[in-house]
Amino acid sequence: MAQKLWEKSVQINKDIERFTVGRDREMDLYLAKYDILGSMAHITMLESIGLLTADELAQLLAELKDLYALAERGEFAIEDGVEDVHSQVELMLTRRLGDVGKKIHSGRSRNDQVLLDLKLFTRAEIRDIAEAVEQLFHVLIHQSERYKEALMPGYTHLQVAMPSSFGLWFGAYAESLVDDLLFLQAAYKMCNRNPLGSAAGYGSSFPLNRTLTTRLLGFDSLNYNVVYAQMGRGKMERNVSFALASIAGTLSKLAFDACLFNSQNFGFVKLPDECTTGSSIMPHKKNPDVFELTRAKCNKIQSLPQQIMMIANNLPSGYFRDLQIIKEVFLPAFQELKDCLQMATYIMNEIKVNEHILDDDRYALIFSVEEVNRLAKAGMPFRDAYKKVGLDIEAGRFIPHKEVHHTHEGSIGNLCNEQISALMQQVVDGFDFQRVEQAEKALLGR
């Protein structure tokens, strides 16, 4: 059985070990390739300050590249008796290279290792999320343009209110994603700062070159103060989770709308048959299960910041084992949100729209505001026009004119989709993912 990195002469009670390790080994598999990548940058720096020879660095980098490829293929495993991913990597290097493998931990603590791993993992996942959001955005803009002439009721208090359009409905969710992505970009920029070299939170007596590891890993800058670097554990996850929750909030609302509009009482849209399921006793049923599950999953993601805050809120500065539990709620959330984005993108691309909703007389009163405005434009004071139309409705004399003439920015006749698309492109460009990609490829020799 492998010895713990910190273990000396006293062996820990097995029940205590099970309790303290918890699901950490399982969670660390999310971080494996990022731990290896971080180690490659760290040892490159160690060689530059004379703590490794050029030959030792070459041997270690070759082995670490092999381990990275193993992790990329999903074949990296943490063995029984090995505490975490850091221990497993060092163990595998030591088996292959002997004492040279034991040198990679100089100037590091598992505290700054896991800080680094979490940041490298998170920035990669943020890129995946951003790209998935952008795909959904383009589908929504396309559908907004496709159905910009198709009118639908707008609601306040779930009462029919004023004319809207599917151009507005699709486009509204597209613009919501722009703000969500801007929030995600802010979280990304806070994430993309290098904590490596902070060690256990108080730095190191080795002459570490933290600027070098920052450049090698493609970070925007350092977490300069080593105490603050450690204080960032939990804070980074909370900030990113707020951004994920913002995207999830948009998806949840979209899913709710789609489920409502798909119901027979509305009949505004038809969801793809392959995205619905049947009933065990009612042969006519086509339940919108995909969007119902999307709504539930996204509502769960919206609770993520609160979960993280409740774990980290009452901790002073310094490292505490409480922070380990954040991994269990944070790391899996990215895939869950990506799944929801993928489903929403597919359904929004395939959804069918009823383009003749307002032919139904039940929606006649939706044009009352249009009539008030028509009278006001003809010279009648607005309050008098409002009263006249209201009295006509009460007396059953109101006859709707079903044409709408909205021309101002962001209205039915002027959706501003080009401007919204330009905003989205500006946000996407602001991430500058390519710089990180180039740095990682250079470190891996690709």
Q: Could you give the residue numbers annotated as active site?
A: 157, 279
* E strand or H helix that includes residue 393: helix 382-395
Nearest-angstrom CA–CA distance, 445 and 439: 10
Residue 130 tokens, joined: 């951003």
Question: If we measure between CA atoms, which residue out of 238, 119, 121, 111 comes closest to residue 189?
Answer: 119
172 alpha-carbon distance from chain centroid: 19
Question: If we measure between CA atoms, which residue out of 306, 276, 293 comes closest to residue 337?
Answer: 293
Residue 423 tokens, joined: 């905003």
Give 319's contacts (C-beta < 8 A, 6+ positions apart). Answer: 111, 200, 201, 230, 233
SS3 content of the chain, % helix, strand, coil (to 5): 65, 5, 30
Max Cα distance, the chain (Å):
94
For residues 367 and 401, is the Cβ–Cβ distance under 8 A? yes
Residue 160 tokens, joined: 């029919």
In a 10 Å sphere around its CB, with 0-12 CB exposed, 13-18 middle and 19+ buried, how is residue 256 labelled? middle
If one counts every other C-beta atom within 10 angstroms of the C-beta of residue 377, the result is: 11
For residues 130 and 431, is the Cβ–Cβ distance under 8 A? yes
For residues 413 and 419, is the Cβ–Cβ distance under 8 A? no
Beta-sheet strands, E only, within 357-428:
none
- Each residue of 126-148: b (16+ CB within 10 Å) or e? beebbebbbebbebbbebbeebb
Angle at 104 between CA 99 and CA 110, to 5 degrees: 125
Place of tokens 């050029």: 54
Give 119's contacts (C-beta < 8 A, 6+ positions apart). Answer: 191, 192, 193, 194, 195, 219, 236
If one counts every other C-beta atom within 10 angstroms of the C-beta of residue 205, the result is: 7
